[in-house]
Amino acid sequence: MASIFTRILAGEIPGTFVFQGERWVALLDIRPAHPGHVLLIPREERQYLADLSGSTQAELGLHLARMTLAVKRATGCPAVNVVLNDGPEAGQEVPHAHLHVVPRWPGDHKGFRFAGAPYGNGQLATMAERLRAAWAAD
Ligand code: AMP
């Protein structure tokens, strides 16, 4: 689905790029959680990570690990969050897959914790089985 990122990638509207590769680019987020908040964006126009081509998916790990280092080096932050909002129900506003690399500082109160709850009786084993089957189905 075409989005604001399509227009930035096409050069129709400005973006501040950190790198521009064949399959992936990195852009400064225009409303950063902290300065140095970067978006890693595939050139392929797909909403969901799993819909990207195999070659684009395969490059992600290298770019992502390298970007966590670049953000730490450039900002001096001791830690980063890597966030993927993979669908609107997960908070995705721009329907073009992208990963956030967010600098984090001690006591910055930018973090979040999921309100976790333990599994009920037998539910952990059932869910593990379902996940193993789903994983094997691909
Ligand atoms: P998400 O909620 O995961 O879809 O995140 C979308 C991100 O894109 C937000 O953090 C926005 O601040 C960022 N964003 C939206 N428009 C632009 C833009 N023109 N340039 C850079 N970042 C943008």
Q: What is the CATH number of the domain that holds 96?
A: 3.30.428.10
pLDDT in tens, 10-58: 999 999 999 999 999 999 999 999 999 999 999 999 999 999 999 999 9
More confident residue, 114 or 54: 54
pLDDT at site 114: 86
98 catalytic? Reply is: yes
Nearest CA owner, ligand 1 atom 3: 92
* pLDDT value of residue 113: 83
Q: Which domain holds residue 125?
A: 4-136
pLDDT (average), residues 109-137 = 94
Dmax over CA atoms of the chain, in Å, equals: 55
Phi and psi at residue 40, to the nearest 5°: -100, 120
Specify the range with the lowest mean pLDDT, choosing from 12-26, 52-66, 110-124.
110-124
Distance 80 CA to ligand 1 centre (A): 18
Tally the domains of the chain: 1
CA distance 32 to 65: 20
